[in-house]
Amino acid sequence: MTDDERRAIEADCQRLINLYVNLSDAQKWEELVALYTPDARFARPSKPDEFVEGRAAILEGFTARPARAQRHVIANTVVGVVDADHATAFSVIVLYLGEAAEPGELPAMSAKSPLVGTFTDKLVRTADGWRFAERIGGLDFRP
């Protein structure tokens, strides 16, 4: 693999991670879940040892949550290229939460905000581009 090929994989994987948090904040759950492989595993930062497996179950988990205001900030992402079709990534995440607000109003921030944690990812190249095969969240501080 050339340096340019490795950098292209890193950029594609970084874009996938950024797109994920943007779709999450917009609560576009079906688009977000399409970023996973059909048999992917996901563990929320608040429950890193409890895996939800498969797109349908991951979608159900997101849509079952009550609406809320949220904004993720993702940083310090390092992508490790395993080979042309596999990569890993580690990112630090900050999550600001609030009550859902009326249209045109700003939400009040939750007393639990911000939450600081991480995501550790296994990424694979598919016919549809790079996707999450596994995404494990974790918290670094108690809320």
What pLDDT, on the 0 to 100 scale, is given for residue 14?
Answer: 98
Q: Fold for domain 3-139? A: Nuclear Transport Factor 2; Chain: A, (3.10.450)
115 Cβ partners below 8 Å, 6+ apart?
45, 94, 95, 97, 139, 141, 143
pLDDT tens-digit map of 2-48:
999 999 999 999 999 999 999 999 999 999 999 999 999 999 998 99
How far apart, in whole angstroms, are the C-alpha atoms of residue 17 and residue 87? 12
Q: Is the pLDDT of residue 143 over 80?
A: no
What pLDDT, on the 0 to 100 scale, is given for residue 142?
Answer: 85
Q: Count CB neighbours of 12 within 10 A.
A: 15
pLDDT tens-digit map of 58-85:
999 999 988 889 999 999 999 999 999 9
- Within 1-143, strands assigned E span 36-43, 52-53, 68-83, 86-99, 115-126, 129-139
pLDDT band at 118 (very low <50, low <70, confident <90, very high): very high
Q: What's the pTM value of the predicted model, to 2 decimals?
A: 0.92
